[in-house]
Amino acid sequence: MKVRFGVSLGADTAPDQLASIVDHLETSGVDSLWFSELVYAPAVDPVVGMAYALARTTRLKVGTSVAVLPGRHPVLVAKQLASLAAVAPKRVLPVFGLRSAIAAERELFVVPDGERAAVFDESLQLLRAALTDDSASYRGRYFTVTGAAVAKAAAGHLAPATLELGGKSANIVFPDADPAAAANGLVAGIFAAAAVVCGLVLRSGVLIRNSSGSAAPVAA
């Protein structure tokens, strides 16, 4: 098993610091750089930061730690991921959360009261369909899409998605995900959601969902 190291930017990382950080990580052998979604902080937007880092590098992977999915249209998110993956194949590691860790920012991601988890689940289904089906059609409670043609841009370029629910919720890693990428994503997501910087993970619950939809918890 190969162990890889990733670096997550702090909330106070100014945009003018990003170039030197990215260049240093590219040459130092660090595996990945992670961007947190912190709307009211100086840190750059995760998608903008990932695009910038990918454009400056040829090896460094980038990911979100974490980006909020409920409150965004999944097809638009799929288009962003497909575009990034097309210009930098196998170097994009999306990690998603249920809601912002910052209370003041939660009102920016509008979902019906009490239905955030249901919206997340449906968003995830549509996101995966948009990235894997040539012409994705979906009809659910919250989203209806006909012929979403995003997957062609992403075909063969996306690294297996790593998905993290954030906070004290169970983590989900789908069986087709790369274990090393999943470990990076889970650790980054746990720390970001808990607002904790630490060098040691004492215990984390991992939920492995099989293709039939059933799930079994795995202690880590």
Q: What is the mean pLDDT of residues 42-55?
A: 96
- State the pLDDT at residue 118: 95
Do 162 and 179 form a contact (C-beta atoms < 8 A)?
Answer: no
1 or 124, which is more confident? 124
**Of the given ranges (33-47, 65-79, 80-94, 203-217), which has the lowest mean pLDDT?**
203-217
Task: Give the chain's domains with CATH numbers.
Answer: 6-219 (3.20.20.30)
- State the pLDDT at residue 202: 32
- Burial (CB < 10 A; 0-12, 13-18, 19+), residue 110, is exposed
Quick one: which of 130, 164, 124 has its CA closest to 142?
A: 124
The one-character DSSP state at 211 is: T
Band of pLDDT at residue 206, cut at 50, 70 and 90: very low
- State the pLDDT at residue 1: 65
Query: What are the DSSP calls for 146-203, one per residue?
Result: EEE--HHHHTTTSPPP-B---TTSPEEE-TTS-HHHHHHHHHHHHHHHHT---S----
Residues 6+ apart with CB under 8 A from 134: 149, 151, 152
User: pTM of the full predicted structure?
Assistant: 0.73
- For residue range 135-153, what is the model confidence (pLDDT) as tens digits? 999 999 999 999 999 877 6
Do 70 and 137 form a contact (C-beta atoms < 8 A)?
Answer: no
Band of pLDDT at residue 95, cut at 50, 70 and 90: confident
Backbone φ, ψ for residue 218 (5° rounding): -130, 120
Residue 212 has pLDDT above 50, yes or no: no
Residue 47 has pLDDT above 50, yes or no: yes
